[in-house]
Each structure stands twice: as structure tokens, then as C-alpha cells.
Amino acid sequence: MIQGISHITFIVKDLEKMTKFLTTIFAAQEVYASGENFFSITKEKFFLIDDLWIAIMEGEPLAEKTYNHIAFKIAPEDYELYAARIKSLGVDVKEDRNRVEGEGRSLYFYDYDNHLFELHTGTLNQRLQNYLRAK
């Protein structure tokens, strides 16, 4: 039986750049760095964002940007705080997509390797309830 997500891995060109990205935006805690003595297929680092295990591994970045993404939940009152953190890194920020009123706000941004992230203030239940009302 599935118990939840074990970890999420991102392949990145520059481990140190991604370390700064994760620690600046998400206040991620670095818990492991392989250095030159790696046990997997390449150099890697592990982080915790709250209890979520994020792994980054050295490799070639994605060839292009897509809408495939991972979304993290944030409190509505923290939206501007995170927006400032993201903008301080100079990464590509996408404007929020058109939304049904009441489903929350989103901030979309790419890392240096074309991975898309989203910070979202709503919940699944809110979205479903607002979709029902919008019919």
C-alpha cells in the first residue's frame, strides 16, 4: 500500500546553484552531500523541506520548459514573502494563470534547469467547491 511520497529528485547542472535556490526560497535544510564519494549514479545532495525529502543530482538540465510542475502549499499571508525570495534569485517567474475566483493564488517559477515550481495558497477542497459554484 502506498504510504505517501518518499522523495522527489531533480537533475541539475550545478548542485551549488540549486542548493541556494532551495535554501533561499523554501528554507530547505541540507542533510547530505556526497562530495566526490557518491553512492548513486552521480554527485547528489539531500534536503528537507519540512518533512519532504528533496534530492538533487548532477546532470544535464531539461531541454525545455513545460507546465509539468510540483506545487507547494503556502499560507495566503506568506505569498508576498515567498514572492520576494523568488525574485531575489532572478529566476524566471510566470504570472498566475486565469483562475476561478476563490481557489487560491499561485506563484509559478522555474529553477535554473527548467523545472517548474508553484507555490499555491488554496486546497483541493477549495478548488473543487469553487469549480462546482462556477458551473
The C-alpha cell that represents 70 in the structure block: 510540483
Q: Are 7 and 18 in contact (CB under 8 A)?
A: no
Active-site residue (options: 44, 77, 95, 103): 44
Alpha-carbon span 12 to 43, nearest angstrom: 10
Angle made by CA atoms 130, 72, 58, in degrees to the nearest 5: 145
CB atoms within 10 A of CB 55: 16
Catalytic status, residue 95: no
Active site residues: 44
